[in-house]
């Protein structure tokens, strides 16, 4: 944040950009929900990731967007140059304390919405590969993601002690305002786990008995997470290169929004194809054995196609 605080142009830029991205994000969630309903035809058949996307993600994502806009419209936070403190009135100090508390909430919303979206992707992959040898890799990545979430939370709650210093004004520990150490830990686990999540579908796609063109299409679809990684890198560049630059809030909304779009696209794609008349009614003929090259005793070889297998069929054609 600059010495003068948030100017009107930044407030308008953040509001217009964040709420536009927010509207698009909600539309993707609604479309995904419709797509899943058309496939399973019962709320009782909704999977865990469906409910996370319908309930948890909107709450956290809304909290993030609302908090960032409140911070920008308010009187700032306890992130300011030390020499500025003597120029503040008591009323301005109280406004900054209030803003700092909202910053804490926004950081938790950002962290948890990103990790919830990771969980949604892994749960989707787990359904697709259930009963195959690929499931073990998904479990390993899931463990890493869980460890990462715990580690980042520990970093957040220990970087500034006592915790109430996060909204103290003035504050002696710069980590209570800049969050640099926390940001580094968050970036390390966030980026590395995204790489692992992108890598998870690779052996699944390779094992499919499909023409190379269709494999490439699936690979591209599941590799859209690269855009999430790019957004996360740009967020941290703006965050760490200048801790007083309010542009990090713009990048928070961009990163969270891109992650949400990407997490929903695999579930939306089959509906989009059907709507455009590109998909035959019965799905595509991918045999159970095409999901697994080594585990010939997989339950895929013994049961009929379920809704999630049909979803992959839709994606691959």
pLDDT for residue 276: 62
Each residue's pLDDT tens digit, 157-206: 999 999 999 999 888 899 999 999 999 999 999 999 999 999 988 887 77
Pick the residue with more confidence: 207 or 23? 23
Each residue's pLDDT tens digit, 265-315: 988 877 776 766 544 443 333 333 333 333 333 333 333 344 444 545 545
Pick the residue with more confidence: 83 or 315? 83
* CB atoms inside a 10 Å sphere around CB 161: 12
Pick the residue with more confidence: 53 or 300? 53
H helices within the chain, ranges in order? 8-40, 48-51, 57-73, 90-129, 135-159, 175-178, 180-199, 201-207, 212-222, 225-241, 247-275, 307-316
> How far is the C-alpha of 140 from the C-alpha of 124, rounded, in Å?
15
Omega of the bond prior to 162 within 30 degrees of 0, cis? yes
* Chain mean pLDDT for the chain: 83
pLDDT for residue 39: 86
Q: What percent of the chain has pLDDT over 90?
A: 53
pLDDT for residue 313: 53
Query: Does residue 317 have a pLDDT over 60?
Result: no
User: How does residue 80 score in pLDDT terms, banded at 50, 70 and 90?
Assistant: confident
| Residue 183: exposure state from Cβ atoms within 10 A (0-12, 13-18, ≥19) | buried
CA 177, 253, 219: angle at the middle one, nearest 5?
125
Report for 81-90, 122-131, 184-193, 206-215: range of highest mean pLDDT: 184-193
pLDDT for residue 295: 36
Q: Are 116 and 52 in contact (CB under 8 A)?
A: yes
User: How does residue 83 score in pLDDT terms, banded at 50, 70 and 90?
Assistant: confident
> How far is the C-alpha of 45 from the C-alpha of 42, rounded, in Å?
5
Report for 67-81, 134-148, 292-306: range of highest mean pLDDT: 134-148
Pick the residue with more confidence: 100 or 202? 100
Question: What domains can you pick out in the chain, each with its CATH number?
Answer: 8-316 (1.20.1070)
Residue with tokens 């696209």: 265
CA 223, 228, 229: angle at the middle one, nearest 5?
90
- Per DSSP, the residues of 4-59 read T---HHHHHHHHHHHHHHHHHHHHHHHHHHHHHHHHH-SGGG--HHHHIIIIIHHH
User: How does residue 260 score in pLDDT terms, banded at 50, 70 and 90?
Assistant: very high
* Range in 5-9, 33-37, 70-74 the model is least confident about: 5-9
Q: What is the dihedral of CA 206, 210, 212, 215, to 10 degrees?
A: -50
Pick the residue with more confidence: 45 or 300? 45
* Range in 16-20, 108-112, 198-202, 255-259 the model is least confident about: 198-202
Q: Pick the closest to residue 300 from 133, 116, 83 (CA basis).
A: 133
pLDDT for residue 187: 96
């Amino acid at each position: 944040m600059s010495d003068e605080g948030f100017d009107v142009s930044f407030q308008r830029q953040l509001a217009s950009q964040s709420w536009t991205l927010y509207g698009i994000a909600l539309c993707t969630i609604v479309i995904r929900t419709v797509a899943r309903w058309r496939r399973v035809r019962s709320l009782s058949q909704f999977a865990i990731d469906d409910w996370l996307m319908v309930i948890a993600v909107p709450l956290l994502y809304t909290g993030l967007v609302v908090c960032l806009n409140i911070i920008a419209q308010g009187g700032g936070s306890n992130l300011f140059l030390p020499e500025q403190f003597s120029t503040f009135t008591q009323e301005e100090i109280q406004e900054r304390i209030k803003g700092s508390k909202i910053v804490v909430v926004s950081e938790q919303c950002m962290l948890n919405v990103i990790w919830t979206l990771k969980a949604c992707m892994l749960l989707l992959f787990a359904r697709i590969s259930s009963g195959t040898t690929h499931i073990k890799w998904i479990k390993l990545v899931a463990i890493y993601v869980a460890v990462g979430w715990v580690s980042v939370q520990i970093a957040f709650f220990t970087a500034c002690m006592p915790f109430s210093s996060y909204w103290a004004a003035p504050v002696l520990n710069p980590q209570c305002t800049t969050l640099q150490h926390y940001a580094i830990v968050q970036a390390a686990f966030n980026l590395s786990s995204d790489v692992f999540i992108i890598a998870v579908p690779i052996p699944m796609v390779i094992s499919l008995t499909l023409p190379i063109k269709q494999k490439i299409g699936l690979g591209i679809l599941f590799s859209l997470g690269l855009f999430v990684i790019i957004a996360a890198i740009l967020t941290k560049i703006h965050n760490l290169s200048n801790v007083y630059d309010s542009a990090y809030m713009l990048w928070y909304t961009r990163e969270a929004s891109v992650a949400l779009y990407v997490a929903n696209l695999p579930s939306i794609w089959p509906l989009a194809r059907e709507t455009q008349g590109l998909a035959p009614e019965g799905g595509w003929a991918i045999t159970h054995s095409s999901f697994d090259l080594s585990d010939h005793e997989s339950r895929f070889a013994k049961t009929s196609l379920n809704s999630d297998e049909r979803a992959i069929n839709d994606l691959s054609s």
